Structure 1
């Protein structure tokens, strides 16, 4: 009797499982989600934008600037003292450059369209002439060099010119 009960139970389970199957036609199941966009990463910008500490010191003219931060996506160099000059490099994979353009605009730095090594981007100088964010598009990625003369601004000239010099090195050395 137990065998017969087990066979009946097994047959009932089998029928229940096969009854749940569809005809294979999924067209009536409603709207489907769009396939996510998959793109290959843009060119490799290297650690710290392929730029050395000495090149940062030379191109930006900050004297004894030291690298104080480095991770997989960025680096930061600073001169000594609170409120001192600084330079930052950041790489953004799969992130829209227009989001960064919108952010600098909200910070009172109107972006100007530029080209670095044939690559489009923008440079955004704050009204005081002390801070510049310069971003360059690389396919679906972008990188940014930001130069700040600090609270005391003892360095003369346009910080965007200095950020551009670093961006040109990065573009020349793309991997």
Structure 2
């Protein structure tokens, strides 16, 4: 019996509606045996299905083929759950959140958040100094070191789109047809068509410490690790068809994102996708002034 993947993930209750299951497939949030698939893809016994749910991946093994919605106990008989445990509440609580649909913070919002955090640090520092003065005996605080504050504007001056061109994106990814679809002072995005999948993007954040972005990536990607280029610290993170690299200069950072593997013609391994992201990052960093 053949079963469509959108019907199956809806039947086992991974999505609330079948239309939501189809939308998840079209958005690239569903993988079959490690490959992003369309709603019409067929599942078979033994297949492994990954569904992105917010910042968490549900990974299940197919043990039964059903195409109709069933109760939770019956649904559980048709799959084996291999999903990693959710992150601790402490980690979730430490990640800043925005209202659904609000998008990334604007530059003004980032500045306001940094001012708030700077004020909070000053209050904490003052409390610490008072505490040491009360307990030190001689009332001095000479041993208290000043708290280092990451500075904004210490990064190089990047050209528009980080200096990248559509030809360089095509050369780095090995996928022909990319054209510039979004072009503004902080973000550029190249696409093959009207959809954002596949896509390559360059983002330039001023006054936004990279730690917040890395924390978000650690919750949403399969792997996140340190990455350095020309002495500048950063991170590289990937999951399936997506690979992202961030490089920091104090409180500024850039991020290169490559999202491929949407069809057989453009199918690439995660390692190939990350190599593309590294080539683009090197081009941007070494070409900056």
How far residue 57 of structure 1 moved from its aligned partner, in angstroms, is 1.1
TM-score (norm 1): 0.72
Which position in structure 1 is the counterpart of 2:251?
A: 140
Could you say what the CA RMSD is over the residues aligned between the two structures, in angstroms?
2.1
| 2:220 maps to 1:68 | no
Q: Name the CA distance, whole Å, in 1 between partners of 2:221 and 2:238.
A: 9
Which position in structure 2 is the counterpart of 1:169?
A: 283
Q: Name the CA distance, whole Å, in 2 between partners of 1:83 and 1:40.
A: 30
Which structure has more relative contact order (CA 8 Å, sep 6+)? It is 1
How far residue 74 of structure 1 moved from its aligned partner, in angstroms, is 1.0
1:108-123 correspondence to structure 2 within 5 Å: 108-123=221-236
Q: Is the 8 A contact 2:243 2:257 kept in 1?
A: yes
How far residue 83 of structure 1 moved from its aligned partner, in angstroms, is 6.2
Which position in structure 2 is the counterpart of 1:131?
A: 242
Gapped regions of structure 2 (runs ≥ 5): 1-118, 124-148
How far residue 40 of structure 1 moved from its aligned partner, in angstroms, is 4.9
Which residue among 199, 203, 217 is the counterpart of 1:104?
Answer: 217
- Shift in alpha-carbon separation, 1:148–1:113, aligned structure 2, 3 A: same
| 2:267 maps to 1:155 | yes
Q: Is the 8 A contact 2:150 2:251 kept in 1?
A: no
Which position in structure 2 is the counterpart of 1:57?
A: 170
Q: Name the CA distance, whole Å, in 1 between partners of 2:259 and 2:152.
A: 33
TM-score (norm 2): 0.45
| Counterpart secondary structure, 2:226 | strand
Deviation sequence 1:70-94 (CA, Å, 0-9, x none): 1110100011264641101000111
Q: Is the 8 A contact 1:94 1:140 kept in 2?
A: yes
- Shift in alpha-carbon separation, 1:85–1:139, aligned structure 2, 3 A: same
How far residue 48 of structure 1 moved from its aligned partner, in angstroms, is 0.7
- Shift in alpha-carbon separation, 1:38–1:81, aligned structure 2, 3 A: closer
How far residue 111 of structure 1 moved from its aligned partner, in angstroms, is 1.1
Query: Which structure is larger by alpha-carbon Rg, 1 or 2?
Result: 1
Moved over 6 A (4+): none
Q: Name the CA distance, whole Å, in 1 between partners of 2:181 and 2:261.
A: 16
Q: Name the CA distance, whole Å, in 1 between partners of 2:263 and 2:217.
A: 21
Q: Name the CA distance, whole Å, in 1 between partners of 2:242 and 2:164.
A: 20
Gapped regions of structure 1 (runs ≥ 5): 1-32
